[in-house]
Amino acid sequence: MPSLEEELFPSTPGKFKIDRGHTMNRQFHRCFASTSTMFLWALFLIALTASYLSFQSFVDSGSRYFSASWGGIQWEKQVRNSAQIHRSGGMSVLVTGAAGFVGTHVSLALKRRGDGVVGLDNFNNYYDPSLKKARKSLLNNHGIFVIDGDINDGRLLAKLFDVVAFTHVMHLAAQAGVRYAMENPNSYVHSNIAGLVTLLEACKSANPQPSIVWASSSSVYGLNEKVPFSESDRTDQPASLYAATKKAGEEITHTYNHIYGLSITGLRFFTVYGPWGRPDMAYFSFTRNILQGKPITVYRGKNRVDLARDFTYIDDIVKGCLGSLDTSGKSTGSGGKKRGAAPYRIFNLGNTSPVTVPALVGILERHLKMKAKKNVVEMPGNGDVPFTHANISLAQKTFGKQLRKGEGQLRQLVFWAPHIVRIRLYGSRWIRPKLWLDPIF
Ligand SMILES: O=C(O)[C@H]1O[C@H](OP(=O)(O)OP(=O)(O)OC[C@H]2O[C@@H](n3ccc(=O)[nH]c3=O)[C@H](O)[C@@H]2O)[C@H](O)[C@@H](O)[C@H]1O
């Protein structure tokens, strides 16, 4: 039989060797000594655990106290009011990324036609958050409540689905920007992968499950050379981490459709522009620099070939989003279980008419009546692709009424440029947001 000491300190060669010649007395003494040491250690550990737990609960309640910008009766009332449907056959839509460029326009369009809209946005500082706050005020003025929260916050999402039985989720929250992915790769994983999964988990568990329409990207076509880009073309050659996370999103959403019966529609947006647009995009930053007399960098492809984009006007994107919501079909699952097949769709939303970057600069110069100080450089290996060109016949066929032939696709740059010349920066603040809405058509 091994002694107690041997049991406590199993012998390994050269370590804790027991001298078996010791008397019982000595063994008893040592046994007693080690028991009391253990007892003291146990007491110490219990005290340590207790203080850790109470500290942890203090931190938890403290962080909840300081960070919780949601919850409570008043908050729930605001959410319910905002989600209220005001037309027959309408929908209640949770719009993620509501204070973003596309999110703002889609939320307003839904609200205008009588649908219920609740916005969610984390107001991150990828670009000037005061622009996002200005968009939020605009939405508030139209009766849309925008929650300051993150799609990675599963508890918040669960609470939202508890308060409102959303029929649809318009998922637009994402880390945008192709080139920024080299600077901050993790932000793409955080929002476009982890956040997406958290959102899908909440949708899958919701009862009833909502139908989901979400923003993929033209960038998934990557180095594809077949033009125009059709939904059936290969998308396995992403040129940037941004593109890779959007492509991953398409695969992830497919899984949730397959396993849980969620109705999913992915929209591949092609370089969207318009009022309230993103300051990090070329049309915006070029305009700002030209107005301020600063140089602009114009990238050029291999063999001095100009880069080109299928720039798409925001109204056409909004039509595509609403058309997708209207035709999404229902999710079939409940209680986290699939009850039948649900739609899984992917559409291009583009203009079908690429414009080169130098042509964009030329149009801006004409409308601004100012010459750009151009610095033409070879496109660095930063994730850019040489061109994009959408085939949107699938969207046109499917959305029928929403995208009548010729309506959704053919806005030429010359028509939208006056929008851009209205861009004015007052210091670093967006104090005249109304300017962003001036109608010109
Ligand atoms: O369709 C998409 O999926 C993506 O569209 C948009 O990406 P892009 O098409 O890259 O738009 P944008 O930055 O306006 O650059 C336009 C052109 O200007 C060139 N460009 C750009 C900057 C510069 O300093 N110089 C320059 O020549 C540049 O090389 C490019 O040729 C969204 O930002 C992105 O979030 C995603 O939604």
Q: Indicate the pTM of the whole model.
A: 0.82
Closest CA to 98 of 142, 35, 60: 142
Element (DSSP H or E) covering residue 289: helix 282-291
Q: Which atom of ligand 1 is nearest to the CA of 220?
A: 3
- Centre of ligand 1 from the C-alpha of residue 280, in Å: 9
Please state, in angstroms and rounded to a whole number, the distance separating the CA atoms of residues 258 and 311: 33
Ligand 1: which residue has its CA nearest to atom 31? 307
Which residue in the list 127, 180, 188, 242 is annotated as catalytic? 242
| 202 half-sphere exposure, CB direction, 13 A CA radius | 26
Q: Which residue has the tokens 């920007």?
A: 177
What element of type H or E holds 166? none
Q: Is 297 in the pocket of ligand 1 (CB under 6 A)?
A: yes
Give the whole-angstrom CA distance, residue 179 versus residue 203.
31
For ligand 1, what atom is nearest to the CA of residue 272?
5
238 C-alpha to center of ligand 1: Å?
15
- Which CATH number applies to 72-271+316-352+390-411: 3.30.70.270, 1.10.150.110, 3.40.50.720, 3.30.1360.70? 3.40.50.720
Q: How far is the CA of 22 from the centre of ligand 1 (A)?
A: 82
pLDDT (tens digit, 9 = 90+) per residue, 181-191? 999 999 999 99
Phi-psi region of 177 (alpha: psi -120 to 50; beta: other; left: phi over 0): left
Q: Cα-flanking dihedrals φ and ψ of residue 94, to 5°?
A: -90, 115
Q: Is 247 in the pocket of ligand 1 (CB under 6 A)?
A: no
Concerning whether 126 is annotated as a catalytic residue, the answer is no
In 3D space, the residue among 358, 264, 252, 258 whose CA is nearest the CA of residue 304 turns out to be 358
| ipTM for the whole complex | 0.99
pLDDT value of position 74 = 97
299 touches ligand 1 (CB under 6 Å) = yes
Give the span between the Cα atoms of 333 and 85, in whole angstroms: 23
- pLDDT of 156 reads 98
How many Å apart are CA 342 and CA 340, to the nearest integer? 6
What's the mean per-residue pLDDT of the chain? 82
What's the rounded Cα separation, in Å, for the pair 376 and 296?
8
* d(CA 256, ligand 1 centre) in Å: 30
Domains in the chain: boundaries: 72-271+316-352+390-411
Report whether residue 270 contacts ligand 1, using a CB cutoff of 6 Å.
yes
Local confidence pLDDT in tens for the 441 residues of the chain: 444 333 333 333 333 333 344 434 444 444 445 556 666 676 666 666 655 554 444 444 334 444 557 999 999 999 999 999 999 999 999 999 999 999 999 999 999 999 999 999 999 999 989 889 989 999 999 999 999 999 999 999 999 999 999 999 999 999 999 999 999 999 999 999 999 999 999 999 999 999 999 999 999 999 999 999 999 999 999 999 999 999 999 999 999 999 999 999 999 999 998 888 898 999 888 988 888 899 999 999 999 999 999 988 888 899 999 999 999 999 999 888 999 999 999 999 998 888 899 988 988 888 778 899 999 999 999 899 999 999 999 998 888 655 544 433 334 444 444 444 444 332 233 333 333 333 222
| Closest ligand 1 atom, residue 179 Cα | 10
